[in-house]
A = this chain, B = another copy of it.
Amino acid sequence: MADGRMMAPPSGESLLFLTDEHLRQAIEAMFFAYRGFTADPDRILADMAYGRAHHRAIHFINRAPGTTVNNLLNILGVTKQSLNRVLRTLIADGLVQSRVGRNDKRERHLFLTDEGRALEQKLSDAQRARMRMAFRTAGPEAVAGFRTVLEAMMDPEMRESFDRLRDSAP
């Protein structure tokens, strides 16, 4: 019966739980969970002329104010043309401010305006609310495991970006 599959994998050093079936379930869980993860911000953005790309840009500019375009490029992992299109609309709409670098005037340093910060708040509030709910439901031990697995799943370069952001936390 179904209960057999709902049992927790064996603890300890056993690695027998890594069957293809378990891995497939994990893959599907990742797929469905990511849909939930993005659902709330997507709903907010749908009403505006923005999409997920705008959300990501706003998130990381808020996270690291004054970041350069090139730095953002590395974090987001897209081409400058793709990012530029998003940034242009955000700047035109007054959500993002681009300041020429003082030391290196080739660089543009990006900041959220008050309006941009307001949208960031709205989006991240929604996303945090879901994450908070999931964490409360799952409990602290599960959360620790969740983060451990996510970090192990990243590519090394992404892991570096992640660590850099984390280590520069306020």
Other-chain contact of A158, B35, B139, B154, B161 (Cβ < 8 Å): B35
* A interface majority secondary structure: helix
The answer to whether B128 and A152 touch across the interface, beta carbons within 8 angstroms, is no
A18 close to chain B: CB less than 8 A: yes
B9 near A31: Cβ-Cβ < 8 Å: no
Number of identical monomers bound together in the oligomeric complex:
2
Q: Is the CB of A28 within 8 A of B165?
A: yes
CB distance from A28 to the nearest CB of B (A): 6
Choose among B15, B34, B36, B142 the residue that contacts A34 (Cβ–Cβ < 8 A): B34
Residues of chain B within 8 A of A25, CB atoms compared: 147, 166, 169
Distance to closest chain B CB from A90 (angstroms): 18
